[in-house]
């Protein structure tokens, strides 16, 4: 791939329909109207001087068709955004979720009229319990962070139920996703960071020093956000339990464990899953997710409502005896739950295991092909994602942000960058299992080309992207002061 700076689209970036306007041009050509014109209402109801675009039909069609191609998605190309598991989502799940019996089910319909819906939810609870090795599941939480919040409330309710009210701290590794400390803080806990050791595991000495009667629990991601399996997990669980603390599992990385390893067997007491990551629901635009919370036997009484149970009379919406209550309206994000159900049923146990095997294989393939060109802070086999670092390039004056932006020119969505925080110039690459060998090779070729450009023509990388309507956005301001409607330019 050569560094070609010629934009592939001749049309100027950022053009609006008004820019295309030509006085008198129309998007319709119909016979003269034979309906008498009614007089316009008087006064302020009629706005004068509206600048409406005057364009032909084909211009309107081309304009909106072009707009529709400006967003990148999994359906456009590889989307290796680490930690987000942007896998391809089979279309059959959409068909399943749109079956009229599901799509038209009303959440207030009586139980007797909702038995099919409740059966699906009950079976999904069972599958997720089996997959995670946990005992009970509530499908109520509507995102990963929401599931974390449910889990920490369960942790707190458990300690309170035992009259154990002196626990004020939650431990979180320094590699953790930002939602973990945020969740613990939102639930009223003090957060204490635990160091990672030289291998990228949780540092056991630091953990032992932090543990005491004031620790409510620990939030741990397995494999962690360095893409590494924490090989200290059994000791970590034992240490926490020795101190009466609860081990919370952030299950966002289950794509590395399906059918191969169960958090329940590792000593986790409570965990959440991200159905929109691991279990195949389109996400990334902020659209609906689901973060079921799964617990070991001693935490069953605290699960959020509803939990679906079955007896001789059928399926029921029930409230566990000491429930933390509802997490939102009704039964959770039913459409997302249906897609997960379809995914699990169509793949089966062997298929799910293959998902994990290929996800881990793909990440290690990228790791071995890019090692050397890009730095690797922890040089050991990874799980479903690999955290590279742009430190070699940074030393030559090109930072990781520029590498990420240059990848856009090569047709790839950038990986996650500058996270985890403990890896300088981090490039967190998660290819997922749904990319072919050819796609991985194309990504490697782009990363190689960029590394070469850093040596030979660093300015090309530093000023990327070159072909997008907008280049470097002020993302913080965009998130805090979003423009949610069209505004005429002055
Ligand atoms: C995505 C993610 C979360 C949060 O999940 P949301 O569904 O985005 O709220 C938490 N932890 C990790 C490790 C994640 O990757």
Domains observed in the chain: 91-347 (3.40.640.10), 354-478 (3.90.1150.10)
pLDDT at residue 256, as a whole number? 98
pLDDT tens per residue, range 122-144: 999 999 999 999 999 999 999 99
Are 462 and 387 in contact, with CB atoms under 8 Å apart?
A: no
**Percentage of the residues of the chain whose pLDDT score is greater than 70:** 97
- Tell me how far the alpha carbon of residue 144 lies from the centroid of ligand 1, in angstroms: 5
pTM of the model: 0.90
Which of 178, 252, 279 to mutate for ligand 1's pocket (most ligand atoms within 8 Å of CB)? 252
pLDDT at residue 440, as a whole number? 98
Distance from chain centroid for Cα 348: 23
pLDDT at residue 42, as a whole number? 80
Which of 81, 84, 145 to mutate for ligand 1's pocket (most ligand atoms within 8 Å of CB)? 145
- Would the pLDDT of 459 be above 80? yes
pLDDT at residue 482, as a whole number? 86
Mean pLDDT value across the chain: 94
| pLDDT band, residue 284 (cuts 50/70/90) | confident
Which of 148, 250, 257, 282 to mutate for ligand 1's pocket (most ligand atoms within 8 Å of CB)? 250
| pLDDT band, residue 47 (cuts 50/70/90) | confident
- Would the pLDDT of 207 be above 60? yes
Q: Name the residue with the closest Cα to ligand 1, atom 2.
A: 252
- Tell me how far the alpha carbon of residue 277 lies from the centroid of ligand 1, in angstroms: 9
Are 367 and 227 in contact, with CB atoms under 8 Å apart?
A: no
pLDDT at residue 294, as a whole number? 98
pLDDT tens per residue, range 298-323: 999 999 999 999 999 999 999 999 99
Q: Which of 238, 180, 228 is nearest to 207 (CA)?
A: 238
- Would the pLDDT of 485 be above 90? no
Pocket of ligand 1 (CB under 6 A): 83, 143-145, 177, 179, 221, 225, 250, 252, 274, 289, 291
CB neighbourhood size of 300 (10 A): 18
Nearest atom in ligand 1 to 276's CA: 7
Burial class (CB in 10 A: 0-12, 13-18, 19+), 316: middle
| pLDDT band, residue 488 (cuts 50/70/90) | low
pLDDT at residue 410, as a whole number? 97
Q: Name the residue with the closest Cα to ligand 1, atom 3.
A: 144
- Tell me how far the alpha carbon of residue 163 lies from the centroid of ligand 1, in angstroms: 32
Helix or strand or coil: residue 66?
helix
Q: Name the residue with the closest Cα to ligand 1, atom 14.
A: 252
pLDDT tens per residue, range 368-421: 999 999 999 999 999 999 999 999 999 999 999 999 999 999 999 999 999 999
Q: Name the residue with the closest Cα to ligand 1, atom 4.
A: 144
């Amino acid at each position: 791939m050569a560094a070609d700076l010629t934009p592939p689209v001749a049309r100027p970036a950022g053009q609006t329909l008004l820019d295309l306007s030509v006085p008198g041009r129309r998007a319709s050509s119909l016979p003269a109207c034979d309906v008498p014109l009614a007089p316009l209402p008087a006064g302020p109801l009629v706005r004068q001087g509206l600048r409406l675009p005057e364009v032909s039909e084909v211009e309107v069609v081309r304009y909106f068709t072009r707009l529709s191609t400006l967003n990148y998605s999994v359906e456009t190309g590889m989307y290796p955004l680490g930690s987000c598991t942007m896998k391809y989502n089979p279309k059959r799940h959409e068909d399943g979720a749109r079956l009229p019996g599901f799509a038209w089910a009303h959440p207030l319909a009586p139980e007797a009229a909702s038995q099919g819906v409740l059966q699906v939810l009950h079976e999904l609870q069972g599958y997720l319990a089996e997959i995670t090795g946990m005992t009970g599941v509530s499908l109520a939480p509507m995102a990963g962070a929401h599931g974390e919040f449910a889990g920490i409330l369960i942790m707190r309710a458990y300690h309170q139920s035992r009259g154990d009210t002196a626990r004020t701290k939650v431990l979180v590794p320094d590699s953790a996703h930002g939602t973990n400390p945020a969740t613990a803080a939102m639930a009223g806990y003090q957060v204490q960071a635990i160091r990672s050791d030289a291998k990228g595991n949780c540092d056991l000495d630091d953990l032992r020093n932090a543990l005491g009667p004031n620790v409510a629990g620990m939030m741990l991601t397995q494999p962690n956000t360095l893409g590494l399996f924490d090989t200290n997990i059994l000791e970590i669980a034992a240490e926490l339990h020795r101190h009466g603390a609860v081990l919370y599992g952030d299950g966002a990385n289950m794509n590395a464990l399906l059918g191969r390893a169960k958090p329940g067997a590792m000593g986790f007491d409570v965990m959440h899953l991200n159905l929109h990551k691991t279990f195949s629901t389109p996400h990334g635009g902020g659209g609906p997710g689901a973060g079921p919370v799964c617990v070991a036997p001693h935490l069953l009484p605290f699960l959020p409502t509803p939990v679906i149970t079955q007896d001789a009379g059928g399926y029921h919406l029930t409230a566990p005896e000491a429930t933390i209550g509802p997490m939102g309206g009704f039964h959770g994000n039913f459409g997302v739950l249906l897609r997960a159900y379809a995914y699990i049923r169509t793949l089966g146990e062997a298929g799910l295991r293959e998902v994990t095997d290929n996800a881990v294989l793909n990440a290690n393939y990228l790791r071995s092909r890019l090692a050397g060109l890009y730095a690797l802070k922890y040089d050991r086999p990874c799980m479903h994602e690999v955290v590279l670092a742009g430190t070699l390039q940074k030393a030559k004056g090109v930072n990781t942000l520029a590498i990420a932006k240059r990848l856009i020119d090569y047709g790839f969505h950038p990986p996650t960058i500058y996270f985890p925080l403990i890896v300088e110039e981090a490039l967190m690459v998660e290819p997922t299992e749904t990319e072919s060998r050819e796609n991985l090779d194309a990504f490697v070729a782009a990363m190689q080309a960029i590394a070469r450009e850093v040596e030979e023509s660093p300015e090309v990388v530093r000023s990327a992207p070159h072909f997008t309507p907008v280049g470097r956005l002020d993302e913080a301001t965009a998130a805090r002061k979003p423009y949610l409607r069209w505004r005429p330019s002055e």
